[in-house]
Structure 1
Amino acid sequence: MFQSPPVADRPRMVVRSAAVLLVYVVAIALFCRSALVSGFDLGFGERGDAIIQIAILEHWRNVLAGVAAWDTSFYFHPYHATLGYNDGYLLYGLVYSGWRLIADPFHADTLNILTFKTIGFAAAYALVARSLGWGQRTGLAVALLWTVASNITLQAVHAQLQSVALQPVAMMLAIATVRAEQAGRPTRARFAAMGLALLLAAWLLTSFTWRGSRSSPLVFISPAGRW
């Protein structure tokens, strides 16, 4: 049964929550400053990349509506089974389709990126502050840097690269798998491992660009084995 925190701890929790919210707002404002200043007239991506991306995002919306085959994007019409001709944008497409209920394609595309930046911030904070146990200050510092790092900001024109926000999630699942196995909880370990496998598969169907990093397996395995 859920138990409320002691009354004496509530002010501290409020301060901690406010600190997380403040740093999050600063991080998003810095990363999205061009879109915010323009009143969302500017989005992410250069003309060529952005048009292809939105076309494929609309493809996933059509798939969910039942009017398109999952593996054939209309961008490459009249050819069939063309999803692998470009980044697949699977997870992007699911989030984008939700935003399309209230926004046009261009604004929904921008809101999709903001959603993944939010996931990245929250996951980076949870990884450092909770999974690794390095404390709130370190967690906030890492989450801020993870969100506004210059290489991520400079590559904002390639929106698919923002799916790197999923990396802290993958690391937490890898750590949870090893810890559960070491603690003699095989069922929990298997579920965490399956979650990691599903995430990586969906990530590859979203953006295959990140797969080229030779260090990617070590990024997941090293923290899991050490902590």
Structure 2
Amino acid sequence: MDDVFAMMFWMGFLCCLPVLVIGGSVGFVVYRNTQRRAASAAIAQGLGLQPTARAKQMQWYEGRLPNGRLCAYVPIIFKRTSYNYEGQRRGSYVSAARLVLEVKREQPLHVNVFRHENWSQKRAPLDSFATAFAADNGSKLTSSQQAALLGFAQTYPSATIWLGDRAGASTDVFNAPEVMAGSTSFLLFEYQVVNPSPEEIHVKVVELSQLASLFET
């Protein structure tokens, strides 16, 4: 009799196992997304930002900082493709935080300076501005401005950094036309993180504000 009950138990368990696995996975995703939305709302509240555009399942928050500088924040999830030693392609999802600050100018910078994590690791050492960044019209920047960007990249070597003009900016930066619509130029900073704290983001915003101010003269 015990063998019969044991067999019934294991048959029931095996039948329910797929449901438990799927249910557990779905539950984890829902929980993670709920936590991420709550964390993003707390960050936005701490910076005085309001939810604005929503695009590609990403919620943008935007507003003006106490110093009058326009700021936008969005938590993002992107798919990264990698290859193992056998050449097999693998995809993984990565969480990151994207901060975009206004560079307050009457006229555009007319430069496009870019450093991306994947591109940087493969091709761009951090020993000079020329090697650390892909730049259009980078020579228009002063030596001190170039040094400031390089120093920032050296502090955050795995981050994406982008300095450019809002008009005509790639949809990779702004996937909604209303985001930072009133800005002439922008400074973007993006780094991998799952659930950043409001304090952590606040520190980044202060640093970015100081850096952005160097391109306003």
The two structures share one fold, judged by TM-score above 0.5: no
Specify which structure has the higher proportion of helix: 1
Specify which structure has the higher proportion of strand: 2
Shorter-chain TM range is 0.3 to 0.5
The TM-score normalised by the length of structure 2 is 0.37
The TM-score normalised by the length of structure 1 is 0.36
Structure index of larger Rg = 2
